[in-house]
Structure 1
Amino acid sequence: MASLCTGAFVLAAADLLDAKRATTHWAHTRDLAARYPQVKVDPDVLYVDNGSVLTSAGKAAAMDLCLHLVRLDHGSAIANTVARRLVVPPHRDGGQAQFVTTPVPAPDNHALAELFPWVIERLDHPLAVEDLARQARMSSRNLSRHFRSVTGTTPLQWLLTQRIRHVQELLETTDDSIDTIAAATGMGTATTLRRHFNRTVGVPPDAYRRTFRSRTRPGPQRPVDLRQVDA
């Protein structure tokens, strides 16, 4: 069961969030905490996954949660494809606190909208901040400012996150060796990939591959028709 934005109030009223972490739009987190003190309200995250119950912050964060659900049910490859169709990052770092005083830009109405898909298609290249700045036609300093505003993180951290997501996708969908995946995702060497993957995901890539391929998903799984995404 999942709630989007202020839908958390409904779940709280039904006692489904008792003793659980939850979030809602930053403008209503204090109200949620005051009305339902048994709920562990976290005002700084984009969404909270408690397993059977999930909550998200505002409308943009609701999309983050929905992509997270697609990733859980259908894997990173499908989630990344959906994100590309929506022209949004597959995953955003940081929490909603970054947006309290700055409105979240529309997905296709910010200075980096064309840069994101360009980078995603070139993750196997040795990209640097200067390369991204050149493609975006702005200085490195200006690029960093826009990245902080749009994603809540730095260009290099965002780039690393996209590489890790691509690594996950390849671990889930191919039998490629770690060396091959490292080259295909711009991580360079298997040693570098393992270090960053373990630090970011929390498990070694080999363990991630075994876990994902051996886990069973509850309920019948239907193929996702990506032609319906734009509808």
Structure 2
Amino acid sequence: MHTVAVLALDGVVPFDLSAPIDAFGWARLPDGRPAYRVRVCSPSPSGEVSAGAFTVRAPYGIEALAEADTIILPGVANPPHELPPGVAEALRDAAANGTRIASVCVGAFLFAATGLLDGLRATTHWAAARELALRHPKVEVDPNVLYVDHGRFLTSAGAAAALDMCLHMIRSDYGSTIAAQAARMSVMPLEREGGQAQFIVQDLTPAPAGATLEPLLVWLEDNCADDLTLDRIAERAGLSTRTLNRRFREQTGTTPLRWLHRARVRRAQYLLESTAYPVERIAAQAGFGSPTAFRECFRKVAGTSPQGYRRAFRSRESVKAGASTGAAAGPGRG
């Protein structure tokens, strides 16, 4: 039987700990036998670790890592710069013996601290991606995906992305039929549309306070629905297009048009969440020249279609408002 060891360190995030336990626990072979043996282990001599509002007692020590086929690293509330004594060595030894290792959410910090992710692409919760990249510059951090699979090493984004990754591993181990049953028991689709970019409030990368572009950025955000060309933006700033591009890169790290596209996508996200307007109307109100251009840009920035984003994030209040006003007569194609 395939053995999964879930490593619980002090401060473990409860959901990160429980999600893989449940996902692998739901997997059943065709004859009804469990597909996995799941063991929770800890380096604590007593086995007790804090899990925020409660304490967990792990029945196994870190010696269980040497016997595992798969090791899961849940996130902890405050990821340490260094792992507890013996943990990094145990994980590196397991990796050398061919054990599959996967991290959940900010468990990527624990994984990266072993050095095993150096030179590899990895992901974590989008809100922690910048810190992970700063702490571990040898790791290529991608905040826009639900999980990254290098075969033996996997990393996942926040919360529910742990289930996506675990279902992916079950499918790799036993095939789609068993994975699909585990997905049904977890009340999860076997595959979700888009990546975690759809869950990110788009950062417009404001210029530092007092920077020369600050008034222009405010104007751009207020007027992003207008037909704005690079020449018109430069005219508003009183600069040549060449100087405008240079200052934008210096102060925001991007170009004027890319910044404008993100501002338009952010406005579109708000409209998709809070109104029942058709996609065509939202495209116009967000400043896109056509619904087709809107869909292409939205998918590139948010990682999903406008309609997919609306299904995931539209509030009940906007649904009720749309029904009462008749605005939901046609949300358009996503």
| TM-score with structure 1 setting the length | 0.55
Tell whether 2:278 aligns with 1:184. Answer: no
Bigger helix share: 1
Superposition pairs for residues 68-79 of structure 1, below 5 Å? none
Structure 1: gaps (5+ residues): 2-7, 23-32, 59-64, 81-89, 93-104, 216-231
Instruction: Determine which of 56, 59, 66 is the counterpart of 2:130.
Output: 56
Instruction: Determine which of 190, 201, 209 is the counterpart of 1:108.
Output: 209
Instruction: Determine which of 188, 192, 195 is the counterpart of 2:296.
Output: 195
Instruction: Determine which of 163, 167, 183 is the counterpart of 2:268.
Output: 167
Q: How many residues align?
A: 159
**Larger RCO: Structure 1 or Structure 2 (Cα < 8 Å, ≥ 6 residues apart)?**
1
Tell whether 2:84 aligns with 1:10. Answer: no
- In the superposition, relative to structure 1, how do residues 192 and 50 fare at CA in structure 2: closer, same or farther (>3 Å)? same
Tell whether 2:310 aligns with 1:209. Answer: yes
Q: What's the secondary structure of 1:114's corresponding residue?
A: helix
Superposition pairs for residues 11-90 of structure 1, below 5 Å? 12-13=82-83, 36-40=114-118, 50-51=124-125, 54-57=128-131, 90=203
- In the superposition, relative to structure 1, how do residues 214 and 138 fare at CA in structure 2: closer, same or farther (>3 Å)? closer
Deviation by residue 1:153-203 (Cα, 9 ceiling, x = unmatched): 211111111111111111111111111111111102212211221232222
Q: What's the secondary structure of 1:13's corresponding residue?
A: coil
Is contact 2:207–2:213 with CA below 8 Å preserved after alignment? Answer: no
Identity %: 31
- In the superposition, relative to structure 1, how do residues 130 and 52 fare at CA in structure 2: closer, same or farther (>3 Å)? closer
Bigger Cα Rg: 2
| TM-score with structure 2 setting the length | 0.39
Write the distance in 2 (CA, Å) between the matches of 1:55 and 1:194. 26
Tell whether 2:209 aligns with 1:139. Answer: no
- In the superposition, relative to structure 1, how do residues 166 and 11 fare at CA in structure 2: closer, same or farther (>3 Å)? farther
Instruction: Determine which of 204, 208, 211 is the counterpart of 1:91.
Output: 204
Give the equivalent residue in structure 1 for 2:149: none
The Cα of 1:213 is off from its aligned counterpart by 3.1
Is contact 2:230–2:241 with CA below 8 Å preserved after alignment? Answer: yes
| Equivalent AA in structure 2 for residue 144 of structure 1 | N
Is contact 2:208–2:251 with CA below 8 Å preserved after alignment? Answer: no
| Equivalent AA in structure 1 for residue 254 of structure 2 | T
Give the equivalent residue in structure 2 for 1:102: none
Cα RMSD over matched residues? 4.1
Structure 2: gaps (5+ residues): 1-12, 14-77, 89-100, 107-111, 135-142, 144-157, 159-195, 317-334
- In the superposition, relative to structure 1, how do residues 183 and 196 fare at CA in structure 2: closer, same or farther (>3 Å)? same
